[in-house]
């Protein structure tokens, strides 16, 4: 009984502290200019896709006080229409239907759990699919994992814009990282399109960006 009482007391204090921080910081629970920002990704190979180039973006921004260690939830992406993944049949092999299912699941997660921070990678990838030139390679490398260039870069940009930008007063649009010197180096055009896809996903987390909706959120179409 004593253990239960202690647990309830601790739980209550956590709630009070959370409310206090929420009132103090407008974008809580992302801290404001902390001495160190810790980001922890827990998951599978999709988490690796999302975080692979995050250290490069941090280095390009001159940010050294970030330790990859904070718990968030990554909204994953819909598979390519020609994906042969065994579970794709659950969505009638329809990419849009899968994306809508992912969005619905994330909304339910947000409503029913204490997870406040969502990294909208799935929406960023849909944004990229809708804006990249037709001659670019597919966003996925095998129908479901992101390709090593524009796919993973866009995912990392989304993590950066969600977790690092609001905490340290920067933005992914100003980040000069293009994976120079690697086999996955991006052109300036590719990097710009990817960064924009990520930024837009962080403005409208759970809906694909459309130019005619830009005025609704006070951001000019680019």
**pLDDT reading at 105 higher than 80:** yes
Q: Which residues of 159-192 are buried (b: 16+ CB within 10 A; e: fewer)?
A: bbbbbbbbbbebebeebebbbeeeeeebeeebbe
Residue 22 pLDDT exceeds 60: no
| 26 and 130 fall within a common domain | no
The model's pTM? 0.71
pLDDT band, very low/low/confident/very high, at 50 (cuts 50, 70, 90)? confident
Residue 212 has what pLDDT? 54
Query: In which domain, by residue range, is 50 found?
Result: 31-217
The mean pLDDT value of the chain amounts to 82
Residue 186 lies in a domain: yes
Contact indicator for 156, 124 with CB cutoff of 8 Å: no
Question: What is the number of domains present in the chain?
Answer: 2
Token reading at 95: 């990419």
Same domain, 2 and 110: no
pLDDT for the residue 85: 96
Q: Is 68 exposed, middle or buried (0-12, 13-18, 19+ CB in 10 A)?
A: middle
């Amino acid at each position: 009984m004593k253990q239960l009482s202690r647990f309830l007391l601790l739980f209550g204090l956590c709630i009070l502290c959370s409310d206090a921080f929420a009132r103090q910081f407008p974008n809580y629970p992302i801290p404001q200019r902390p001495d160190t920002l810790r980001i922890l990704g827990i998951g599978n190979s999709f988490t690796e896709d999302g975080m692979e180039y995050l250290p490069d973006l941090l280095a390009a921004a001159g940010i050294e006080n970030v330790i990859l260690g904070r718990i968030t939830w990554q909204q994953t992406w819909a598979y390519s229409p020609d994906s042969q993944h065994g579970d794709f049949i659950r969505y009638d092999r329809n990419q849009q239907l899968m994306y809508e299912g992912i969005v619905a699941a994330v909304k339910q997660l947000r409503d029913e759990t204490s997870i406040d921070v969502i990294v909208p990678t799935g929406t960023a990838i849909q944004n990229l699919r809708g804006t990249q030139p037709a001659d670019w390679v597919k966003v996925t490398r095998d129908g479901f994992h992101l390709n090593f260039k524009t796919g993973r870069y866009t995912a990392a940009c989304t993590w950066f814009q969600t977790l690092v930008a609001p905490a340290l007063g920067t933005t992914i649009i100003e980040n000069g990282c293009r994976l120079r010197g690697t086999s996955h180096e991006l052109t300036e055009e590719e990097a710009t399109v990817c960064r924009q896809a990520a930024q837009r996903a962080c403005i409208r987390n759970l809906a694909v960006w459309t130019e005619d909706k830009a005025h609704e959120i006070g951001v000019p179409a680019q």
